[in-house]
Amino acid sequence: MNITGTGDGPVDGVFLKTVNVSLQLGEGDVFERCELILNLGDSGEFDDGLQFSINGIRLLNFDQRHWMAMPDFQKGGKFDTDLNDSWTPWFAEGTPRLQIVGNSIQLMVMSTNGIREDALLSMDATVVDWVLSTSFTYDCQAGFTLEFGNQNGGGGPGSINAFLQIEAYVDPCVDISDLDADGLLDIVDACPIASGVAALNGCPWPVYIGNNYKSTVVSNSIEMSGEGYLCSLAASSYYNLGYHSGANPEPVVGDFIIYNTNYSFPHTFAYGDDEFAFMKLRDYNKIIEVRKADGEIISLYTCQ
């Protein structure tokens, strides 16, 4: 279901959709769970907050007053991913996604850490009109009335462009496969074909890698005294987001660089598969040396 509209004022700037939800099971079907997802990313957006009700009971309500003064949404904060003064959900910054599973409501937004995080946890719950229920239920089989929409704080411009989907999981079979062998079953693994860590729901740790690098035929041939150029590049435009296979946030010798969160093709960050490559890590002020054949980190050098 699409929820769209743009306007101004306490009434004309708020757009809501109501839907009656019910589920009929077929013979032999086993109901597992029901999830509600409001996709707001890519071509979607909202101005400047959201509201959500089940059977007439408001379970979520926030607007710009609840996040505009909070550090995580201002320039340099983890949700200001474009570093343009503040978070702008009306431009779909961070491709927000509101999801309701069980009695949990989360607004998952891409952060500067390279992973989706719940933005509701960073908002100011002390400001008037804040609602975030942590004690509610809904029964897809019995049916319920659902209402979704934007919230513009009672006045001013308001808009929304979103797609509401309701997913019912009906399957008597249990998936016990673990394709990437990281210890998390594919059914709960956010990155099922890239080995990751439990802290990131099965995804590998993100790391910023310099998009300029130098190659060498012989390993450990770098001279740090001559690497002022590599070590001096600190602007964000010199880096691309990659991933590494280690168990901790900071990569170490023996970890593998992965340049794609879905597929384990470590060597695709550099041209060719022969020899070695040196690149800067922005977050740890180090140069790493990797084997281009498989992306394994074989040396670490500290920038002075």
| pTM recorded for the entire structure | 0.55
My answer on whether 11 and 134 are in the same domain is yes
Question: Does some domain include residue 192?
Answer: no
Question: Does some domain include residue 125?
Answer: yes
Mean pLDDT of the chain: 84
Number of domains in the chain: 2
Beta partners for 70?
A: none
Question: Does some domain include residue 179?
Answer: no
Residue after which a domain boundary falls, among 174, 190, 216: 174
One-letter amino acid for residue 239 of the chain? Y
Give the pLDDT mean for 74-81: 90
The pair of structure tokens assigned to 215 is 């190659």
My answer on whether 250 and 151 are in the same domain is no
My answer on whether 128 and 211 are in the same domain is no
Judged against a pLDDT cut of 70, whether residue 262 lies above it is answered with no
172 pLDDT tier (thresholds 50, 70, 90): low
Instruction: Name the more confident of 27 and 267.
Output: 27
Question: Does some domain include residue 113?
Answer: yes
My answer on whether 10 and 149 are in the same domain is yes
Instruction: Name the more confident of 118 and 268.
Output: 118
Judged against a pLDDT cut of 60, whether residue 237 lies above it is answered with yes
Judged against a pLDDT cut of 60, whether residue 264 lies above it is answered with no
Give the closest residue to 60 by CA, choosing from 99, 33, 94, 21: 99
Range of the domain at 297: 198-302
Question: Does some domain include residue 186?
Answer: no
Q: What is the pLDDT, as a whole number, of residue 114?
A: 85
43 pLDDT tier (thresholds 50, 70, 90): low
pLDDT, tens digit, 9 for 90 and up, residues 79-123: 998 888 899 998 888 889 888 887 889 999 989 888 889 999 999
Q: How many residues belong to the chain?
A: 304
My answer on whether 28 and 143 are in the same domain is yes
Q: What is the pLDDT, as a whole number, of residue 28?
A: 64
Give Dmax over CA atoms of the chain in angstroms.
72
